[in-house]
Each structure stands twice: as C-alpha cells, then as structure tokens.
Amino acid sequence: MIKTILYKSFTILLTCLVLFSTVSFTVEKHFCGDVLVDVSVFVEADKCEMEALEILQKKTCCKDEISVVEGQDELKFSSFDDLNFEQQQFLATFAYSYINLFEGLPNQIIPHKDYSPPNLVTDIQLLNDTFLI
C-alpha cells in the first residue's frame, strides 16, 4: 500500500514539474508612488484613480512593473535514428513481441464435439453403494 502511494505521489510530482517548467507567464504590478496598488498574473493590472489625473497634469507618480517568467521552450525530441544499434534492436524486438502478444489463438478442432453420451439406465454407483468422499 505504501508503495502505491509513493508511486502515485512521485508521478504527480514529476508531471507538475514538467508542466510548470514549460509554462511561461507574466506578473504585472501597478505602483502609485511607493504604494503597491494591484498585482495580476496573466492579465493587465488595474490602474488607480491618479492615473487619469496624471494624463491631464502631465506628471508621473504611477509606474507599472512587468515581470516575465519564461518557461522552457526548447524541448529535446529524439528520433529512432538517434539511438545506437543495440537500442534500436531492443525497441524493434519489444514492439514486435508486444504487438504479437495480443494475437488470437488459432481455432482448435474438438474431435468429440458432436458426440452424445449414452443414456444411463441405472446409477451403478448407487447400486454398488460406492460413493466418492
């Protein structure tokens, strides 16, 4: 039981690692002066009310910081030709044996399929009082 729990938790950990290493996202922060107003992930951060007044007065007290977390975008793809001869031979043999594993057995001929047993007139075991225990 503990083995299956460890196996499943390790599998989930590895899938999350692969997922989060390949996903990229942006974190946007909006500051009004030195005060953090809004933080958002994947979308644009909400602006404060001072932003509209700054456009009219041409002063800048608000600023936006954008942090981009880059994921891994170059994954290694291997082909069958990149493997050495022993590895290619093993994979080809494994695939051939796995495919042939599920082939059906040939139909076997049953010689006594149409044979009907003789009719019993009396039960011989009951007549001789011999019973299997």
**Tell me: the pLDDT tens digits for 30-61?**
888 788 888 888 788 777 766 666 655 666 77
Radius of gyration for the alpha carbons in the chain, expressed in angstroms and rounded: 38
Q: What is the mean pLDDT of the chain?
A: 82
Q: Which of 79-83, 85-89, 104-108 has the lowest mean pLDDT?
A: 104-108
Instruction: Please state whether the predicted TM-score (pTM) of the whole model is above 0.75.
Output: no
Both structure tokens of 128: 């001789």
**Contact between residue 30 and residue 46 where contact means Cβ atoms under 8 Å apart:** yes
Checking if the pLDDT of 10 tops 90, the result is yes
Q: What does the pLDDT look like over 15-32, one tens digit per residue?
A: 998 888 888 888 898 888
Counting Cβ atoms within 10 Å, is residue 30 exposed (0-12), middle (13-18) or buried (19+)?
buried
